[in-house]
A and B are shown apart, each in its own frame.
Chain A
Amino acid sequence: MSAHMDRSIETTLSVNGTPTTRRIEPRQHLIDFLREDLGLTGSHTGCEHGVCGACTVRVDGKIVRGCLTLAVQMAGKRVDTIEGLSDSGEIAELQRAFHERNALQCGFCTPGMLMAAQDLILRHPHATRDEIRDHISGNYCRCTGYQAIVDAIETVLKAKAVATDKRR
């Protein structure tokens, strides 16, 4: 076995609810692990120094930068990616609103943007437009100018508020 392999560490984590065990090289960040080892290419590798937000995923329910997280650090943790949130239907309304509002063009930032937007919807359901902008300030979009993204997130927040009021 090569020295390279000797340095890998057997790591067990949950990915979108599926227990997963792999030998992981310490230097590999979470996004490369998800994309290259598990084939989950929805999360994007962008700037790789924590600026652009294209790699946003959820670890134990909190959004993190996948490029500033080592995959070996994920032992025993639950990782949720855009594939998981999409397949479960959790973000169906957001996806519909992004589509209807033209809140994406090239789509590179969209998975990270949806992860950040869903985090806001879960934690701060009454967010104002300014608060929406603040919350997604760590996610860069180079196509849309953000207006449509803010519109889409606001649409979902308002629809949820109306639905909550009706249930009362």
Chain B
Amino acid sequence: MKAPPFAYRKATTLAEVFELLDTHGDGARLLAGGQSLLAALNLRLSSPQILIDITGIPGLTGIKVANGTVTIGALTTHAEIERSPEIAHMLPLLAQAAPHIAHVAIRNVGTIGGSIALADPAAEWPACCLALGAEFVIAGKTGNRMVHARDFFQALYTTALGPAEVLTAIEIPVPAAGSRSAFVELTRRRGDYAIVGVAATARMDGDVLNGVQLAFLGTDQTPVLAKSAMAEIEGKNLSPVLIAAASKALASDLDPGGDAYSTAATKMHLARVIAGRALAALAA
């Protein structure tokens, strides 16, 4: 199908964006990479009066490392993250997750900021941000505020972003030396949204896993930190018995809904399978 009619403005400053958001309120949508938004418009799931293209605003792209923090501009594309030597070196979880995002032609255009602001529960970046303890830089008319990933994803497609705010950057602390990561995702076809997925990080101190983070995607209405399973593993030697205990604990962490392809029970089973794979990869 074709998108319904809308007006289009390419903003060159954030001030211009805030002015347009003030004028148009709910009728305005921000356009970054557009790889989800334009699909939704073509399917007529959304009919904004105006698209505010933010891709011409300087300073919102690129990856910078300073003071133990990696700052990723909101307009940085999935492909730029996938190919970045800094990311591969400092945040390998992101490099592991990137190839799971759709396909090359979409990764060339879609942005990390767009993915996080949309907050699709089956998307990769939100779960990675949760596992890595990311903070989001949110610009408003009166200045910037920071929101932790834990507090950002609130409900289905609902975030802490206000109607007149723009996500401008993602700040991720560089993990301590000895940190490891794994990203495991199951899909029906290459590049599809996840049936279930998990972003996992931990430090390996001798034979013991510390600081374990397991963030699931595709199970609930938001990405979920599996706190009970994490507590089971924390500070212990990974063994098949421990993985089984962590898998069992997932019952109190996850509440997957069934969909057209997988029942809730199937999703829970698959979440346990990938938890085991991710933990084994961390300890490998």
* A and B from one complex: yes
Residues of A within 8 A of B (CB): 4, 7, 9, 25-27, 29, 32, 48-50, 53, 56, 62-65, 67-70, 72-73, 75, 116, 119, 133-135, 137-139
- Tell me the nearest residue of chain B to A61, going by C-beta: B108
Question: Contact: A7 with B5, CB < 8 Å?
Answer: yes
Q: Give the contacting residue for B105; candidates A32, A70, A72, A138; CB below 8 A.
A: A138
Cβ of B68 to closest chain A Cβ, rounded Å: 32
How far apart sit A8 and B3, CA to CA, in the bound complex (Å)? Answer: 15
Question: Contact: A67 with B104, CB < 8 Å?
Answer: no
Question: Contact: A29 with B38, CB < 8 Å?
Answer: yes
Q: B89 on the interface (CB 8 Å rule)?
A: no
Question: Contact: B105 with A53, CB < 8 Å?
Answer: yes
Cβ of A112 to closest chain B Cβ, rounded Å: 9
Question: Contact: A26 with B105, CB < 8 Å?
Answer: no
Supposing A9-B8, A67-B42, A68-B39 touch, asked if A48 and B2 sit within 8 A by C-beta, the answer is yes
Question: Contact: B7 with A119, CB < 8 Å?
Answer: no
A sample of 12 inter-chain contacts (CB < 8 A) reads A27-B5, A29-B42, A32-B2, A50-B102, A62-B79, A67-B38, A68-B35, A73-B34, A73-B53, A73-B55, A116-B104, A137-B190
Cβ of B274 to closest chain A Cβ, rounded Å: 20
Question: Contact: A26 with B6, CB < 8 Å?
Answer: yes
How far apart sit A46 and B55, CA to CA, in the bound complex (Å)? Answer: 26
Cβ of B101 to closest chain A Cβ, rounded Å: 11
Q: Give the contacting residue for A62; candidates B3, B5, B39, B108; CB below 8 A.
A: B108
Cβ of A133 to closest chain B Cβ, rounded Å: 8
Q: B64 on the interface (CB 8 Å rule)?
A: no
Question: Contact: B108 with A49, CB < 8 Å?
Answer: no
Question: Contact: B191 with A138, CB < 8 Å?
Answer: yes
Contacts of B55 in A (CB 8 A): 73
One digit per residue, 1 when the CB lies within 8 angstroms of any chain A CB and 0 when it does not, for chain B 35-49 equals 100110111000000
How far apart sit A9 and B53, CA to CA, in the bound complex (Å)? Answer: 14
Contacts of A25 in B (CB 8 A): 5
Cβ of B37 to closest chain A Cβ, rounded Å: 9
Cβ of A6 to closest chain B Cβ, rounded Å: 10
- Tell me the nearest residue of chain B to A50, going by C-beta: B39
How far apart sit A48 and B3, CA to CA, in the bound complex (Å)? Answer: 10
How far apart sit A29 and B34, CA to CA, in the bound complex (Å)? Answer: 11
How far apart sit A140 and B205, CA to CA, in the bound complex (Å)? Answer: 46
Q: B95 on the interface (CB 8 Å rule)?
A: no
How far apart sit A9 and B35, CA to CA, in the bound complex (Å)? Answer: 22
Question: Contact: A137 with B34, CB < 8 Å?
Answer: no
Cβ of A75 to closest chain B Cβ, rounded Å: 8
One digit per residue, 1 when the CB lies within 8 angstroms of any chain A CB and 0 when it does not, for chain B 145-187 equals 0000000000000000000000000000000000000000000
- Tell me the nearest residue of chain B to A9, going by C-beta: B8
How far apart sit A32 and B79, CA to CA, in the bound complex (Å)? Answer: 26
Contacts of A48 in B (CB 8 A): 1-2, 42
Contacts of B79 in A (CB 8 A): 62
